[in-house]
Structure 1
Amino acid sequence: MKKLLIVDDSAFMRKLITEFFSENAHIEVVGTARNGRDALEKVRILNPDVLTMDVEMPEMTGVEAVKQLMIENPKPVVMLSSTTTADAAITMEAIANGAVDFIAKPSGTISLDLDKIKDDLIEKVIAASNIPIEKLRRKERISKIPIKKPIFEKPIIVEKRIQEKTNQVWHKNHKKIILIGTSTGGPRALQEVLTRLPKDIKAPILIVQHMPPGFTKSLAKRLDQLSDITVKEAEQGDLLQPGTAYIAPGGYQMTARKVGMTYSIHIDEHAPVVGGHKPAVDVLFDSVATLTDIDRIAVIMTGMGADGSKGIKMLKRSGNTRVISEDERTCVVYGMPKSAEKTGLVDRVAPLDEIPQAILNYLY
């Protein structure tokens, strides 16, 4: 059994979360802590495999504790956050500094109805507890300078000859769209990729990151501040522009549509959950599969589950598509990329730091 430390300034919340895991066959609660400072001390004593961490606490907040923890003694951390704008921004900062995932409390700091997210919390904690410690350590890039002209003396990875099976001919001067799907570990992966794309990239970028309502705007704002390209939370009717990344808003399904000679975004709050997700990668990919006059570069990165795999099949059947999946070595959770690779339709498997260049290589 993996050992869990629960960190929350509310005694009621500590007790409730402890009860969630009382009969779990995979997770044993070995202790609780009332704030970030207490958590760091308990980690030294109890050596847990995984932590749940409240965002707002006295003496030392959750994000401050995560920063210190990743320096002293890295452990997988699942953040618990309310859906306020301030807490959402802090949660994104915690994830940028090493937390692997988060879950939104259904009704604020002290959620009497926390049982609504019991199953999701347990699933996320179990997944986090199995993440190797070396994948939590943040690797700083030697240079943030984006590659504007991808020049390859020889291929980094020998690509599968998908065009021989599908009769798809890849023309670099065709109009293109970039699609990215990701989940657990996605915010940090998106930061690694988007910050290395040039401002004048010749394609729009549509992104589905599995997140609940209230968090995607903070994610988009943070990535926009760090990137040369424009990054925004997608809005109804947005016309797709090269050099702009559109992140599907949490709690909505996002699709793309043809409007005259261009393309636009459609946001649907009432569309059903698909595969347990809203937004879902498959929903976006399926919609782009109907746009047969544009070439697609589809990227699947770290995350639990299989979202995106069905959509890849639709994209490949309907038109020119190249698929890139993140290599297992760099995935925080090797779920979605593994499922994508099982389709046999992935053109390129690349570690995270090579994905930006792989994208550019298909564009130019």
Structure 2
Amino acid sequence: MNRIKVLVVDDSAFMRKMISDILNSDPFIEVIGTARNGKDGIDKMEKLSPDVITLDIEMPIMDGLTALKNIMDRNPLPVVMLSSLTQEGAETTLKALQFGAVDFIQKPSGPISLDIEKIKESIVRKVREAASANIASMSKGNELTEPPSPLPLTVQTKANKENRKTIVAIGVSTGGPRALQQVLTQLPADFPAPLVIVQHMPPKFTKSLAERLDKLSAITIKEAEHGELLQKGTAYIAPGDFHMKVKKIGMSLAANITKDQPIRGHRPSVDALFESISTLHGYKKILVVLTGMGSDGTHGMQVVKQEDPGTIAIAEASETSVVFGMPKSAIQTGLVNQVSPIQDISQSILKAMEN
């Protein structure tokens, strides 16, 4: 197997060396060059033809966002951003994911993180995952500019919405912010059910993601709070590093936010969310598995389907998934009712609500 060729772009000589040493310690990765700013990075990219670029956000001469736009315009490649833990860093990172970055890595303690070794496994894993990403789904021509107009409710859905209790649960990981924007901005303001969402993402980032998507969407989108009652026409995103489950309180549903142990390495966990929905009797259930590495959501989907065979399961198609792992795992169970490209997922959800 050919090693993954990586270009490391960071304005700190210390960080360039540390990230290079971490990546070179993996037998499947080779750092073929480093660069000290975005402009230097683009010049080196054209000379060295890397498979993956790690790109710091805050740099002189040309910052990471400007460099990322140039990369995606000239020669789209898998890019992994390095971000600070601040709220401002979270917002900038979400812009980078919007512009085409595959994923991001949090520096543990600021721009020069002397303790970068703490996240060695995460750096190696994310670079390896990025190398297999479907970059065509994120390159020029596929960028998200103006959000699409919301789809109208059908006559059938309008007729059903007063007497039908429905819950929609979505699981997503790598490539998720763009995928969620595609799906949620197409849902109408009078969407007749609550949506609960697990996006694999650390604290601060989920709140920024919810606020950003809320500005673009007709429905309300927010980071979930423990104990709040779930409302129709509102999407609730699990807070980073917390599980979100749904529980029944009287005639209503509520968000149950917990710090229980990670499940198969994830907190929040799609499996935890889906499994909690299996206990909701009297509700129509729609499960959606979007782009992401691994298999989170598959076990939970199996539990829900076993409890309620009438559950509708929808998975994103390979051609639009940045990483096809999670949808592929769900599809391989034979329990998925519909496989759709990302631009058709909203329509698939609305159709599932008609019956």
TM-score relative to the length of structure 2: 0.93
Aligned to 1:21, the other structure's residue is in SS state helix
**Partners in 2 of 1:198 and 1:246 — Cα distance?**
16
Aligned to 2:306: 317
Once residues 332 and 16 of structure 1 are traced to their aligned partners in structure 2, the CA distance between those partners, rounded to angstroms, is 28
Aligned equivalent of 2:262:
273
Question: Deviations 1:212-234 (Å, cap 9, x if unpaired)?
Answer: 12210111111111111111111
How many residues are aligned here? 346
Q: Give matches, 1:89-238, under 5 Å.
A: 89-137=91-139, 138-139=142-143, 144-150=148-154, 174-238=164-228
1:307 maps to amino acid: D
Distance (Å, rounded) in 2 between the aligned partners of 1:296 and 1:202? 13
Q: CA deviation at 1:149?
A: 3.4
Aligned counterparts of 2:312 and 2:14: Cα–Cα separation in 1: 50
1:11, distance to aligned residue in structure 2 (A): 0.7
Alpha carbons 1:292, 1:318 under 8 Å: kept: no
Q: 1:337 aligned to 2:327? A: yes
- Give the Cα separation in 2 of the matches to 1:21 and 1:140: 31
Q: Is residue 51 from structure 1 mapped to residue 36 from structure 2 by the alignment?
A: no
Query: Structure 2 CA distance, aligned partners of 1:306 and 1:150?
Result: 33
Question: CA 1:200–1:239 in structure 2 vs 1: closer, same or farther (change >3 Å)?
Answer: same
Taking the aligned partners of 1:220 and 1:75, their CA distance within structure 2 comes to 27
Which whole-Å deviations, capped at 9, do the CAs of 1:219-274 have from their partners, x for residues lacking one?
Answer: 111111111111111111121011111000101011111111101101113x1011
Per-residue deviation, residues 15-50 of structure 1 (Å, max 9, x unmatched): 001101223222211111111122111111111111
* 3-state secondary structure, aligned to 2:218: coil
Q: Distance in 1 between matches of 2:342 and 2:111?
A: 35
| TM-score, L = length of structure 1 | 0.91
Q: Which amino acid aligns with 2:255?
A: I
Task: Find the counterpart in structure 2 of residue 31 from structure 1.
Answer: 33
Q: What is the aligned counterpart of 2:231 among 215, 218, 241?
A: 241
What displacement does 1:150 show?
A: 5.0
Answering whether residue 20 of structure 2 is matched by residue 18 of structure 1, we say yes
1:298 CA drift (Å): 0.3
Paired residue type of 2:293: M
Q: Mind listing any 5+ residue stretches in structure 1 that lack a counterpart?
A: 153-169
> Matched residue of 1:109: which SS?
coil
Query: Does the C-alpha gap of structure 1 residues 315 and 76 become closer, same or farther in structure 2, counting only changes over 3 Å?
Result: same
Which ranges in structure 2 are unaligned for 5 or more consecutive residues?
A: none
Q: Closer, same or farther in 2 for the Cα pair 1:226/1:310, shift >3 Å? A: same
Q: Is the 8 A contact 1:210 1:278 kept in 2?
A: yes
SS for the counterpart of 2:24 is: coil
Q: Which runs of 4+ in 1 moved over 6 A?
A: none
2:254 matched residue in structure 1 = 264
Deviation of 1:292 after TM superposition, in Å, equals 1.4
Q: What's the CA shift for 1:132?
A: 3.8
Q: Any conservation in 2 of the 1:76–1:136 contact (CA below 8 Å)?
A: no
Q: Percent identity?
A: 51
Q: 1:175 to 1:16 in 2, by over 3 A?
A: same
Task: Report how far residue 2 of structure 1 moved.
Answer: 2.0
Amino acid at match of 1:253: H
Per-residue deviation, 1:131: 2.1
Residue in 1 aligned with 2:244? 254
Partner secondary structure for residue 92 of structure 2: helix
Shift of 1:141: 8.1
- The verdict on how the C-alpha distance between 1:286 and 1:133 changes in structure 2, with shifts beyond 3 A counting, is closer
Q: Equivalents in 2 of 1:225, 1:240: separation in Å?
A: 20
In structure 1, C-alpha distance between the alignment counterparts of 2:62 and 2:228, rounded to whole Å:
41
